[in-house]
Structure 1
Amino acid sequence: MNTPQPQRFLRSFSRVALRRLGAPLAVLMMAAGLGAAHAARDWEPQRPIRLIVPYGPGGSSDVIARALAVEMGQSLGQTVFVDNKAGGQGAIAMQDAARAAPDGYTIVLGHVGTLAVNPAMMPRLPYDPLKDFAPVALLTKVPMLFAVGPADSSTSLAQFVARAKAAPGQLNYGSAGNGSAGHLAFEMLKLAAGINVTHVPYKGTGAQMTDLLAGNIDAAAAGLPGFLPHVKAGKLRILAVGAAQRLPAIPDVPTVAESGYPGFESSQWFGLLVPAKTPAAVVERLHAEAVKALQSASVRRRLEEDSSTPAPLGPKDFSAFIVAEQKRWGEVVRHARLSAN
């Protein structure tokens, strides 16, 4: 194919110019390149940024996103507004984020459910957690706690496991719904301990907690905020913490790992992602701002109220973390034969 006349002229002109101008031109071109790179590193948003949350207002995802949005917005000099898009176990919001322009003005709050569990539970997932997004930062982990109500006499995880093994399938546990964090946490415990405990799904945490307090179910797994008031009132007993370390709010409660299951960890986790092909400079700037926000006093205080532990990871490490979590939770889903229905 013949090269168009204008292109041949430009190439010829460039060769002549380079020969005549030599080093001075090279210096100028290098300076221009460095200037462009510097400008990219200093990316500054020119309009508000949308932070999509795949769940409704009021939950841990929403709390974390709103606390982060305030701090990041102040530092970036632009409003970061939270857009709650619940439904489809987070798939609706993730699909929306995946289709957004890769320009830094759309961020999504990823979650263990949307990034690691859904791929195993939903064969027709309308987004690809690995191909459709560029990870920005892992933010925080919220450990799951295992508790029993008045229907169960266990005072330790070992006692609960012994009771379950003595009566396979007769003990039960509740969750906020099929595929919820509490459901998956208990299924992981069943797999680790080799026990058969019947799952009772509810439509939300409130209904589950009502039946647990009433003695209609034996046990449940949830975050500390939902359990703590009832523990203080003497109505519930927390048997173990799903985190790698004990929680400062309940230092006397051992971890599941300490209770005989080394390496066990069951936590909800949250992180920021942007659409794939977002420029690396934009990803780096957003990562720096997210980490800076996590270190602020207001965000730390809000996370502590939820017993949420900051666990910042950069883009590459967060990407590897997602892959590892998909493998880990995929095994739980397959073993328990869970599905999105």
Structure 2
Amino acid sequence: MKLVHHLALAAGVALASAAAAGADAYPSKPITMIVPTAPAGSTDIMARLVAEPLARALGKPIVIDNKPGASGNIGTEFVARAAPDGYTLLMQYSGYHVGNPALYPNLKWSPTHDFVPIAMVMRAPHVIAVSGTLPVNSVQDLIAYGKKKKGGLFFASSGNGSIQHIAGELLARQIKEPMTHVPYKGSGPAINDLVAGTVDMFITTPPSVIGFLPSGKLKALAYTGAQRHPSMPHVPTSAEAGLPGYEVESWFAVFAPAKTPPEIVARLTTEIRKIVESESFRKKVDDQGAFAVYMDPPTLAKFVDQQLAMWSKVIKDADIKPD
């Protein structure tokens, strides 16, 4: 019996040592961070802001791989099916993670069963942005312009069912005017058409539009947070612009495939926390018109559950369906 006990104890120690060695050895090769949108949008910007310092901290390259399409479902499903070894990560946009489950009944991935949370990195109210060529300078100007325009306002989104899509539908209901939804495969292509004047409006997170404001290529008519953002002090809140109660916020977080070893999750979230709480990262995110916010895996898991319930109700109450 003593021999069996000693053998079992030795096996347990060996397994614990192997797990520790695995954590110490990670990563031993480059990591891929999947972005389920086209380049140049907010999700892509956040992935690159996190990936560069994370690669330095881990000592291995992090490759950004954009996989846009199907309202984020192509890239998200790719990560859900990837090996749970810490070498495939997802920089996820909240609209896809907590909006798509209520919009697509046959979704091939689950936000709770197929992923393990790593860390939240940013929260961002939206801006109501219009083309610089549009003859409006306020939300009230925009509403009046839409009433006169044949077909009403054309608003862009990063895909059917995205929070930008939902934001546009909620605005149409609030102002009681029909608007036409124009979906794109990410914020980047939507911004290109907004600058060109092909679409009238894009309600999106500030990082994808803020660089176009100083030149006048785009105009920000309202910020959908409770308070103005320091990087855009002259942009009124929705309430100040005449849209009381119209508040829309997105968030961005890193996830890994379910069953990723806890020691790898712990290593990643520890390093990402250092990045998100650093002054340099906070300044970069502030400059983008958003807020650097860290959440650890358990807190993020609870937050996702809350967000799933909230957005499901919003989508159902507003009767929003993918086009």
Instruction: Determine if the TM-score, normalized by the shorter chain, exceeds 0.5.
Output: yes
Counterpart in the other structure of 1:303: 285
Residue pair 1:66, 1:82 contacting (<8 A) in 2 also? yes
- Cα offset, 1:135, TM superposition: 0.6
Which residue, out of 237, 257, 266, partners 1:255? 237
Q: 1:260 to 1:95 in 2, by over 3 A?
A: same
Counterpart in the other structure of 2:155: 174
Work out the CA distance in 2 between the residues paired with 1:257 and 1:108: 34
Residue pair 2:286, 2:292 contacting (<8 A) in 1 also? no
Residue pair 1:48, 1:105 contacting (<8 A) in 2 also? yes
Work out the CA distance in 2 between the residues paired with 1:29 and 1:310: 44
Counterpart in the other structure of 1:58: 40
Counterpart in the other structure of 2:250: 268
- Cα offset, 1:38, TM superposition: 5.5
Q: Which structure 2 residues correspond to residues 198-277 of structure 1 after superposition, within 5 A?
A: 198-201=179-182, 203=184, 204-205=189-190, 206-211=192-197, 217=200, 219-224=201-206, 227-228=209-210, 231-232=213-214, 237-256=219-238, 265-277=247-259
Q: 1:73 to 1:148 in 2, by over 3 A?
A: closer
Work out the CA distance in 2 between the residues paired with 1:234 and 1:81: 33
Higher mean alpha-carbon deviation, 193-202 vs 136-145, is at: 193-202
SS of aligned partner of 1:179: coil
Residue pair 1:109, 1:271 contacting (<8 A) in 2 also? yes
Residue pair 2:31, 2:88 contacting (<8 A) in 1 also? yes
Matched, 1:184 2:174: no
Q: 1:37 to 1:96 in 2, by over 3 A?
A: closer
Q: 1:326 to 1:288 in 2, by over 3 A?
A: same
SS of aligned partner of 2:197: helix
Which residue, out of 112, 118, 137, partners 2:100? 118
Matched, 1:338 2:320: yes
Residue pair 1:140, 1:309 contacting (<8 A) in 2 also? yes
Matched, 1:14 2:4: yes
Work out the CA distance in 1 between the residues paired with 2:48 and 2:272: 12
Aligned-residue sequence identity (percent) comes to: 32
Residue pair 1:43, 1:281 contacting (<8 A) in 2 also? no
Q: Which structure 2 residues correspond to residues 305-324 of structure 1 after superposition, within 5 A?
A: 305-324=287-306
Alignment size in residue pairs = 315
Q: Which amino acid aligns with 1:268?
A: S
Work out the CA distance in 1 between the residues paired with 2:102 and 2:66: 24
- Cα offset, 1:221, TM superposition: 1.7
Work out the CA distance in 2 between the residues paired with 1:111 and 1:226: 13
Matched, 1:93 2:75: yes
- Cα offset, 1:40, TM superposition: 6.5
Report the TM-score, using the length of structure 1 for normalisation: 0.76
Residue pair 2:152, 2:180 contacting (<8 A) in 1 also? no
Q: Which amino acid aligns with 2:156?
A: S
Q: 1:236 to 1:75 in 2, by over 3 A?
A: closer
Q: Deviations over 1:35-81 (max 9, x none)?
A: 66755665632222121111222222222212322211111122221
Q: Which amino acid aligns with 2:81?
A: R
Work out the CA distance in 1 between the residues paired with 2:73 and 2:303: 20
- Cα offset, 1:315, TM superposition: 0.6
Q: Deviations over 1:134-164 (max 9, x none)?
A: 0111111233112456766573x5x469869
Report the TM-score, using the length of structure 2 for normalisation: 0.79
Work out the CA distance in 1 between the residues paired with 2:211 and 2:84: 43
Which residue, out of 124, 134, 144, partners 1:142? 124
Q: Which amino acid aligns with 1:14?
A: V
Q: Deviations over 1:89-123 (max 9, x none)?
A: 22122222111221212111111132111112222
Residue pair 1:161, 1:195 contacting (<8 A) in 2 also? no
Work out the CA distance in 2 between the residues paired with 1:322 and 1:257: 27
Residue pair 1:60, 1:306 contacting (<8 A) in 2 also? no
Q: Deviations over 1:146-187 (max 9, x none)?
A: 2456766573x5x469869x99x9853411454344322222
Q: Which structure 2 residues correspond to residues 285-296 of structure 1 after superposition, within 5 A?
A: 285-296=267-278
Q: 1:72 to 1:163 in 2, by over 3 A?
A: same
Residue pair 2:210, 2:289 contacting (<8 A) in 1 also? no
Q: Which amino acid aligns with 2:33?
A: L
Q: 1:171 to 1:87 in 2, by over 3 A?
A: closer
Q: 1:55 to 1:235 in 2, by over 3 A?
A: closer
> What CA RMSD, in Å, does the superposition of the two structures yield over aligned residues?
3.8
